[in-house]
Amino acid sequence: MSQAFPELKNDRFLRALLRQPVDITPVWMMRQAGRYLPEYRATRAQAGDFLSLCKNTELACEVTLQPLRRYSLDASILFSDILTVPDAMGLGLYFEAGEGPKFKKPLRTAEDIEKLPVVNTAQDLSYVTDAVSMIRRELNGMVPLIGFTGSPWTLATYMIEGGSSKDYRRTKAMMYDQPELFQILVDKLVDSIIDYLNAQIRAGAQAVQIFDSWGGALAHDAYLKYSLLPMKRIIDGLIKEHDGRQVPVILFTKGGGQWLEAMADSGAQALGLDWTTDIANARARVGDKVALQGNMDPSILYASPERIRQEVATILKGFGKGEGHIFNLGHGITPEVDPDHAGAFISAVHELSADYH
C-alpha cells in the first residue's frame, strides 16, 4: 500500500544515480549509522544487543537518523542487517561478541536446502518495512532513503558456513560439486530478495543497494553465474517506479573491479566501487552507462582532516567533470574512526566538488 510522504527537499543523490545534473557531488557513507558514533553505542546498549536494535522500529529509526543530525549527508540508509533474510528463513541468526554473526542451523544437507522456505516479507520481516516507513516519515523529505539487501551469493556463504569465513570452503565445495543443489538455494534467495526489496520500496525506500560483499572471492565464471546473474534476475524483478519517481538500483561487489563491464549490463543504474579500483579507469570503462559510487579507502579517515581533504580532491579529480558520481567510502566506515574526521570528509566533498558541476 502506497503512503503519502512529504516532498523531497534534497534529491541530488537520486539525480546523480540517474546521471542528471547536480550542484555538488552527493555523499553518504556505508555503515554511516554505526559504532563510530557514541550516540549509536548508547542506543544499541538501550536495545540490549544488535539484533534487538534491528527489530525495534523506533530505535532502528533513531540510529538511522543519528548521522543526519551530525552531518550534511545527501542520503540516509535503512538501519538493518543483510542477514535478516536468512534469519527469516529459519536459520536462527545470533551474534557472538567479537565474532560477528552466526547461525544456529547452517545449511549442510540437501534436505536443509530443499525444505528452506521463500521469505514472505509481509509475514516474516514486517519489522524491516515498519522501520522503512517510520524513517521515511521522520526524514520529512530531508534526504532520500536507501533500502538494501545482501546478494544471493553473499547470503549463501553465511548460510552454508554458519557465519563469517576466510575461504568459503563449504560453500564453494557445494557450488562446484553439487551445482544443482546450490542453484536451488540461489533461486530461493533470488525470489526472497525480490519480495524483500519490493516491500521496502512500497514502504518508502527511494533507492536500493545490493551488497555483494564476498563476490570478489569467486573465480571469473563462478562470479558471472552465481553472483552477477542472480543479481541481474533480482533487478529485473524490482519495482522500477514508485511515488512518481524512478527507483534506482546500486550494485556493489567488493573486489569486483574486473567485472565492471558485465556489471554495467545488469540493469542497475549505479555501480559501487571499492578503493582498489581507480575511479578514472572505471569511468572510462563504464561511465557512459551507469553512475559510479565510491570509492575512498575507509582507512583514510584515521588520517588528519588535511590528508582526508587531499584524498577527496584526488578522487573528485579522478572522476572529473560531469554527472553520475556519488561520493562514498569504498566499504563501510570502521568503528574506531573519530566522528570529526567523518565530518571533515563530508564537508570536503561538498566544498571541493562544486567546480566539477
Tell me what pLDDT residue 177 has.
98
With respect to residue 2, please indicate whether it lies within any of the assigned structural domains: no
pLDDT beneath 70, residues of the chain:
1-2
The C-alpha cell at 102 is 552466526
Task: Please check whether residue 346 lies inside any domain of the structure.
Answer: yes
34 is in an annotated binding site: yes
**Secondary structure in 3-state letters for the chain:** CCCCCCCCCCCHHHHHHCCCCCCCCCECCCCCCCCCCHHHHHHHHHHCCHHHHHHCHHHHHHHHHHHHHHCCCCCEECCCCCCHHHHHHHHCEEEECCCEEEECCCCCCHHHHHCCCCCCHHHHCHHHHHHHHHHHHHHCCCCCEEEEEECHHHHHHHHHHCECCCCCHHHHHHHHHCHHHHHHHHHHHHHHHHHHHHHHHHHCCCEEEEEECCHHHCCHHHHHHHHHHHHHHHHHCCCCEECCEECCEEEEECCCHHHHHHHHCCCCCEEECCCCCCHHHHHHHHCCCCEEEEEECHHHHHCCHHHHHHHHHHHHHHHCCCCCEEEEECCCCCCCCCHHHHHHHHHHHHHHHHHHC
pLDDT for position 2: 55
Residue 1 lies in a domain: no
Q: CA 131 → CA 47, 127, 229, 268, 295, distances in Å?
A: 15, 6, 30, 25, 28
The per-residue pLDDT for range 208-241, each reduced to its tens digit, is 999 999 999 999 999 999 999 999 999 999 999 9
33 is in an annotated binding site: yes
In a domain, 6, yes or no: no
Global pTM value: 0.97
**Number of structural domains, the chain?**
1
Tell me, yes or no, whether 7 lies in a domain. Answer: no
Domain residues for the domain of 18 are: 12-356
Residue 283 annotated as part of some ligand binding site: no
pLDDT number for residue 97: 74
* CATH number of the domain encompassing residue 320: 3.20.20.210
Look at residue 1 in the predicted model and tell me its pLDDT.
47
Q: Is 31 annotated as a binding residue?
A: yes
Residues annotated as part of the active site: 31, 35, 44, 81, 158
Is 35 annotated among the ligand-binding residues? yes
pLDDT at 74: 98
Asked if the structure places residue 4 within a domain, the reply is no
In a domain, 5, yes or no: no
3, part of any domain: no
- 266-284 pLDDT per residue, tens: 999 999 999 999 999 999 9
